[in-house]
């Protein structure tokens, strides 16, 4: 399996459900605290399996060699410096995202769980923190200074020689400890993971989607950090500039709720939607025409097409690509949040 396959397949599996935020569970009347248990084996989820095309989609057909090379350069893997100066030996702060909680009681749930976590022997209460947003809350633990190293062997999401972040023994031990904590028969941190501390937003303000007018835009891609694509925000800016150089009205949007950046094209008003009958609405001709462009058909992930494996009405397994889709343009005065899909 090639390096592009590995990186994008890992992303596809994650998005297909390997990390599923848990809904707010019933809060105990009295916090008995956590106990360390052997976490139960994770149930095998029935989800749409994803696979990935190994070619960068904007140049699938009718492209010149120069165009193909220019696109690949946005996401290529370089042994010594993968993303704008990231080098072997460079250090970066990471943390443990214990979990995120959704639902109407997400604030109360997260605060309750965080309080119980602080009481666990072996946990430093000063390192437990909670982040609340309008529709979700997240519990974090610790700050760890990690170092980029050169991979010595081929892994699931990296090739030998890639520059990757090295998880320290400390963060691995803390993460494993937190995953095994139980509150009664619940394991709210079983999916705890190490993530990069949020990085500052970058990019020309005139290319920020928040500066665009209109109601809707076409979402054509997303970037996020992987062991070999460290500066995903910078990669998104370069992607937008590349689309702009070819005549598209492209924008970026740094998601305030997730460590990812969206790439969008075009702006539309109410004319983006049309009545398709039966009280339903669909994409209008002007939107469909834009989606017919080869480079704008799909919602790419780090420059790759991601497919879902689904079952059709005849019971046959079919591959369905993740198509581009409309999202609402953030309006002035709105609280920062992720893009809303129409």
Q: Which residue has the higher pLDDT, 103 or 30?
A: 103
pLDDT digits (tens, 9 = 90+) for 231-262: 889 999 999 999 999 999 999 999 987 889 99
Of the listed ranges 102-111, 182-191, 240-249, the least confidently predicted one is: 182-191
| Cβ 149 vs Cβ 74: under 8 Å | no
Is residue 107 predicted with pLDDT exceeding 60?
yes
Average pLDDT, the chain: 78
pTM assigned to the model: 0.58
Task: Report, in this order, helix, strand and coil percent for the chain, each rounded to 5.
Answer: 25, 35, 40
User: What are the boundaries of each domain within the chain?
Assistant: 3-40+78-196
* One-character DSSP codes across 175-234: HHHHHTEEBTTB-TTTT-EEEEPPPPP-S-GGGBGGG--SSEEEEEEEEE-BTTB--HHH
Maximum alpha-carbon separation in the chain: 66
Distances (CA, A) of 96 to 129, 143, 171, 185, 194: 10, 8, 8, 22, 5
What is the structure's pLDDT at 159? 67
What is the structure's pLDDT at 65? 58
């Amino acid at each position: 399996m090639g390096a592009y396959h590995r990186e994008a397949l890992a992303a596809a599996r994650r998005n297909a459900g390997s990390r599923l935020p848990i809904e707010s569970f019933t809060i105990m009347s009295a916090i008995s605290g956590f106990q360390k248990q052997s976490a139960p084996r994770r149930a095998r989820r029935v989800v749409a399996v994803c696979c990935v095309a190994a070619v960068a989609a904007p140049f699938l057909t009718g492209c010149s060699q120069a165009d193909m090379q220019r696109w690949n350069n946005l996401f290529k893997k370089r042994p010594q410096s993968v993303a704008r100066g990231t080098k072997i030996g460079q250090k970066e702060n990471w943390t443990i995202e214990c979990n995120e909680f959704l639902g109407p009681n997400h604030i109360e749930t997260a605060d309750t769980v965080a309080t119980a976590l602080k009481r666990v022997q072996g946990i430093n209460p000063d390192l437990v923190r909670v982040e609340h947003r309008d529709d979700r809350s997240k519990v974090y633990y610790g700050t760890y200074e990690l170092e980029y190293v050169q991979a010595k062997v081929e892994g699931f999401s990296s090739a030998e020689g890639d520059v990757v972040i090295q998880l320290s023994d400390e963060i691995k031990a803390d993460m494993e400890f937190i995953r095994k904590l139980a509150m009664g028969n619940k394991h709210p941190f079983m999916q705890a993971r190490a993530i990069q501390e949020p990085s500052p937003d970058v990019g020309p303000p005139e290319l920020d989607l928040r500066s665009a007018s209109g109601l809707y835009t076409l979402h054509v891609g997303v970037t996020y950090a992987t062991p070999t694509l460290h500066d995903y925000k910078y990669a998104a800016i370069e992607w937008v500039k590349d689309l702009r150089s070819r005549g598209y009205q492209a924008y970026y949007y740094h998601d305030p709720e997730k460590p990812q950046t969206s790439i969008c094209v075009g702006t539309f008003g109410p004319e983006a939607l049309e009545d398709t009958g039966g009280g339903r609405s669909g994409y209008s001709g002007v939107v469909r025409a834009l989606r017919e462009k080869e480079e704008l058909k799909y919602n790419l992930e780090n420059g790759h097409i991601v497919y879902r494996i689904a079952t059709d009405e005849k019971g046959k397994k079919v591959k369905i690509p993740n198509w581009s889709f409309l999202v609402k343009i953030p309006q002035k005065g709105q609280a920062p949040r992720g893009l809303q899909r129409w």
